[in-house]
Amino acid sequence: MTVRTDGKLIVFSGPSCVGKSPLAKALARLHPELHNSLQPLVLYNDRSARPGETDGVDYYFRPQKEIQKLKGKDGFIVMDVRGDLQALDLNELSQQLSRGHVFFEGNPFFILQNELLSQSDFRKFSRRSVQFLNITFIFQTNLVAPAATFHPFH
């Protein structure tokens, strides 16, 4: 596989409900020209589409057996992500990067566990072509203090 990385893979990652989607929506609202220039990274997923999700936009929804067959194929990374079998097509990602920047907004399991970055196929991509924004909110709690004095952002 020949890998061209003219573009960058831009990743908004963080735990569930941390605010990745609102941040991505804010990017679209405040910088529509930038948002519209980003190609979405679409993974394969063995679960059924949820209401409002579209095949080929949110995920490529495929039966588990079909995704399991990708495990042995060159150019695919397949892994279990919190009970969902997911796959990334590295050839598709390479083609997208040759055309420009690619955007992934999601849970960090697939990209940030270093599983992907340590895979031999993914090593062909330069680490400089991947930009991460890891989103975390930290709430400080003083369990001894009365509720009236609790300030979660101090």
CATH number at residue 116: 3.30.63.10
State both tokens at 9: 């893979």
142 has a pLDDT exceeding 90: no
pLDDT score recorded for residue 42: 95
Alpha-carbon distance of 85 to 22, in angstroms, equals 26
Identify the domain containing residue 110 by its residue range: 9-149
Does the residue 107 lie in any domain? yes
5 has a pLDDT exceeding 90: no
pLDDT score recorded for residue 141: 40
Alpha-carbon distance of 26 to 28, in angstroms, equals 5
Domain count, the chain: 1
Q: How far is CA 125 from CA 21, 22, 111, in A?
A: 26, 29, 13
CB 59 within 8 A of CB 45: yes
CB 27 within 8 A of CB 35: yes
At 17-65, the pLDDT tens digits run 778 888 888 989 999 999 999 999 999 999 999 999 999 999 999 999 9
Does the residue 27 lie in any domain? yes
Does the residue 106 lie in any domain? yes
CB 13 within 8 A of CB 108: yes
CB atoms within 10 A of CB 55: 12
Alpha-carbon distance of 8 to 48, in angstroms, equals 30
